[in-house]
Amino acid sequence: MNVDVEESVFMKYCPFLLIVGLCALLMSCAPWRDRYFDSGVDELTQSEVREKLGKPHRVDDPLLSDETTWMYRFTLSEGDLDPWGIETFGKDAGSVFSGPEAVLREKIYCYVYMLKFDKDAVLRKWNRELCQVPIPPNPFEQRFVE
């Protein structure tokens, strides 16, 4: 009789535990800075962030606002964004047939982390965006001046 009770308790909480485990697995795939900021919202201070990441690349501190924005630029590789290799699975398969000189390079991405602090210097929100890279002019489309 006691075994039936244990089985029903297990069956009752099994889906919940499975969902929690899956969420933990997905969170472990995020870059470390994302996990750091996610866990630090409403807790991290400017001094703690500066100690971990160094001086911000840009600071916006408007006089009429209680909010301060810090910006950091970082380059992340495909391996940083996908540590388990799910997106790049099979990418190097071509080098098996064509030799080691045909190995493909990892793409590098530029990201800006925007951190918003309140008047007490506590992190309230953050987001990660791709860097705005200007597109160079096409030299073949330039027109000659007459």
pLDDT tens-digit readout, 44-76: 999 999 999 999 999 999 888 899 999 999 988
What is the tally of structural domains in the chain?
A: 1
pLDDT digits (tens, 9 = 90+) for 116-142: 999 999 999 999 999 887 777 777 776
pLDDT for residue 33 is more than 80: yes
Amino acid at position 17, single letter: L
Q: With respect to residue 82, please indicate whether it lies within any of the assigned structural domains.
A: yes
Report pLDDT for 2.
55
Q: Domain range holding 67?
A: 29-133
Please give the pLDDT value at position 27.
Answer: 45
Nearest Cα residue to 109 out of 84, 67, 87, 77 = 77
The kind and range of the H/E element at 80 are helix 78-81
Say if 52 falls within a structural domain.
Answer: yes
**38 in any annotated domain:** yes
Return the pLDDT at 13: 65
- Average pLDDT of the chain, as a whole number: 76
Residue 39 lies in a domain: yes
Asked if residue 93 belongs to a domain, the reply is: yes
Task: Report the alpha-carbon distance of residue 85 to residue 91 in Å, rounded.
Answer: 9
